[in-house]
Amino acid sequence: MTSLSKRLLTAAVGLALVACANAAGGDSPESVKVELKKKFPDRQVESVRTTPVKGLYEVVFAGRQVIYSDARADYILVGDMVDVKSRSSLTEARIRELSKTDFNALPLDKAIKLVRGTGARKVAVFSDPDCPFCKKIEQETLSKLDNVTIYTFLYPLTQLHPDAPRKSALIWCAADKQKAWEGWMFEGKLPEGDGKCPTPLADIETLTNKLGISGTPAMVFENGEMMSGAIPLEAFEAKLSAKK
């Protein structure tokens, strides 16, 4: 049995249970939210809304967790809701929507700014100086972009790379931050100095927690979409050019 078939079978069984439990109908998202708060007092329910399936409600908990519930919160479904006709996951689409952020609300003054060409297209990149995939995306993707403004937020993952905070401070405290960043990412050369100046590293860590970013590289595009990993140039270009 294929992965999709297993997901569809699991969903079908769950939906059958929900349909039986909600034969009476007459409920609303607000009443579902009230029931959920009673039964899950330790969880923050951010939103409840109807789904294409009668009697089944989409629930979003804090942390962008999407689950499904019947009207009385007696049954909970955890997993993907799949549109059989399009073979697409409505759950994944919703999570992508929830993951969007307001690009203009980012504290861009706490990032290293690089402008190429007109600088018309914009992207924010959260990067760790000791992350191999961060170096890969710098060398193979970001360096080949034109007409773009790149905001690099230094986000050292201390548990994985204990020396990354020191390197980040050295780069941030350099007279030419962008030159120092490129010198390290392309040539492995750190700038001179002691790295003892006020840095935004703590503020950036707080920001990543708020955005749900836990790894590097992570990108926020101008249209609010977020992606992670060493994205190939062609895919990156497509995201940069996507409409807001």
Domain termination residue (choose one: 98, 124, 141) = 98
pLDDT at 21: 46
Q: Is 16 buried (19+), middle (13-18) or exposed (0-12) by CB count in 10 A?
A: exposed
Task: Tell me which residue has tokens 């993707």.
Answer: 141
Question: pLDDT by residue (tens digit) across 172-209?
Answer: 999 999 999 999 999 999 999 999 999 999 999 999 98
For residues 112 and 227, membership in a common domain is answered with: yes
pLDDT at 83: 92
For residues 231 and 110, membership in a common domain is answered with: yes
For residues 126 and 45, membership in a common domain is answered with: no
Instruction: Concatenate the DSSP letters of all residues of 135-190 into one string.
Output: HHHHHHTGGG--SEEEEEEE---TTT-TTHHHHHHHHHTSSSHHHHHHHHHHH--P
For residues 63 and 125, membership in a common domain is answered with: no
Span 138-158, average pLDDT: 97
As a whole number of angstroms, the distance between CA 80 and CA 93 comes to 10
For residues 38 and 20, membership in a common domain is answered with: yes
For residues 109 and 212, membership in a common domain is answered with: yes
Whether 22 has a pLDDT exceeding 60, the answer reads no
pLDDT-derived band at 53, boundaries 50, 70, 90: very high
Sequence-distant (6+) residues with CB within 8 A of 89 are 80, 81, 82, 83
CATH number of the domain that 49 lies in? Answer: 3.10.450.70
Q: Is 215 buried (19+), middle (13-18) or exposed (0-12) by CB count in 10 A?
A: middle
Q: Is the peptide bond before 165 cis (omega within 30 degrees of 0)?
A: no
For residues 137 and 200, membership in a common domain is answered with: yes
As a whole number of angstroms, the distance between CA 243 and CA 225 comes to 11
- Give the length of the chain: 244
Domain termination residue (choose one: 98, 120, 136) = 98
- Which tokens belong to 45? 């329910």
Whether 32 has a pLDDT exceeding 50, the answer reads yes
Span 132-159, average pLDDT: 97
For residues 45 and 120, membership in a common domain is answered with: no
Number of domains in the chain: 2
For residues 57 and 141, membership in a common domain is answered with: no
pLDDT at 234: 94
CATH number of the domain that 126 lies in? Answer: 3.40.30.10
pLDDT at 244: 62
What's the chain's average pLDDT?
A: 89
As a whole number of angstroms, the distance between CA 105 and CA 226 comes to 14
Amino acid sitting at position 9: L
pLDDT at 122: 97
For residues 91 and 135, membership in a common domain is answered with: no
- Domain span at 194: 103-240
Domain termination residue (choose one: 98, 114, 129) = 98
For residues 126 and 181, membership in a common domain is answered with: yes
Span 27-37, average pLDDT: 92
Question: What whole-number percentage of the chain has pLDDT above 90?
Answer: 75
pLDDT-derived band at 17, boundaries 50, 70, 90: very low
Q: Is 151 buried (19+), middle (13-18) or exposed (0-12) by CB count in 10 A?
A: buried
